[in-house]
Amino acid sequence: MANSTFTSSTRDIPDVSGVPRHIAIIMDGNGRWARKRFMPRVAGHGRGVEAVRSAIRGCIQRGVSYLTLFAFSSENWRRPADEVSFLMQLFIRSLQKEIDRLHENGIRFRVVGDLTRFDAPLVELIRTAEARTADNDKLTLTIAANYGGRWDIVQAVERMLAKYPEQRGSFSEEQLSAELSLNYGPEPDLFIRTGGEQRISNFLLWQLAYSELYFTDTLWPDFDEAALDDAIRSYRTRERRFGRTSEQLCQTVDRAAAVKAGTDPLPADPGAHA
């Protein structure tokens, strides 16, 4: 599978470190940020772009490899037409303005979501930016645009069925996850939602299976590098058990120390990765 290099959290135990390899964020609270200042909601979206810049910079400096940002959900079409159109224009303008800088900073840019509802020039802009930055490896920045977790699973099932027309009835998780739109990266270690709501809002339904969830009241335009550090600090306090017991984890840690010290009394255990 395209993601065979990445461990499935339900099949194997992923490597875990103090720095999340992949952070996924629901950037919420732009409208409330603006309203609090008696400004139109869209002014909050404008300020939200600055917070995106800061999150990208922060992730690069902290050694995060994948950053996935929810910019527009499949349900956001239900918003007033002028807000939807503002968001589209903002996306186009920001991409045009930032793409050189993203590329210079070694960022691989990707967009996930159902692009069929976007105008051809925007799709062209996205594809060109993706192709241009495809070989960069400092940070993979994914923008989820017209994205829905359910859409993603349905399109993956369709692609899987088309790929294996002869295979009936017994598909594996790996075959399905290989067709999901984030098949080029690991599952998120850390999920952040700003703006105070504690829900997933149809974001990465499959991939969040074992992510650590972090909710903050901070509104997205106020989410700066210090706020990112708070989230990462919280992440570091979590015990990621992936179904195991706490005692097993302690044994694994003791064992890792013993291996390092050259005093490991046990034969190699192919099942234990963490």
Position with the least CB separation from ligand IPE: 31
Provide the token pair at 74: 């499949």
Q: Mapping DSSP to helix (H, G, I), strand (E, B) and coil, where does residue 215 land? A: strand
Q: x/- string (CB under 6 A) for ligand IPE, residues 186-225?
A: ---------x-x-x-x------------------------
Q: Using CA atoms, how far apart are residues 9 and 274, in angstroms rounded to an integer?
A: 12
CA 211 to chain centre: 10
Say which amino acid occupies 79.
R
Q: Using CA atoms, how far apart are residues 162 and 55, in angstroms rounded to an integer?
A: 38
Choosing from 6, 24, 28, 235, the residue that interacts with Mg ion (CB under 5 A) is 28
Q: Using CA atoms, how far apart are residues 78 and 74, in angstroms rounded to an integer?
A: 9
CB 28, min distance to Mg ion, A: 4
Choices 57-65, 70-78, 174-182, 232-240; region in contact with ligand IPE by CB under 6 A? 70-78
Residues 81-100 that bind ligand IPE (CB under 6 A): 87
Burial (Cβ within 10 Å: 0-12, 13-18, ≥19) of residue 148: buried
> Residue 76 catalytic?
yes
> Residue 28 catalytic?
yes
Choosing from 13, 28, 122, 143, the residue that interacts with ligand IPE (CB under 6 A) is 28
Active-site position among 28, 30, 146, 189: 28
Residues in contact with ligand IPE by CB under 6 A are 26-32, 70-73, 76, 87, 195, 197, 199, 201
Among all residues, which ones are annotated catalytic? 28, 76
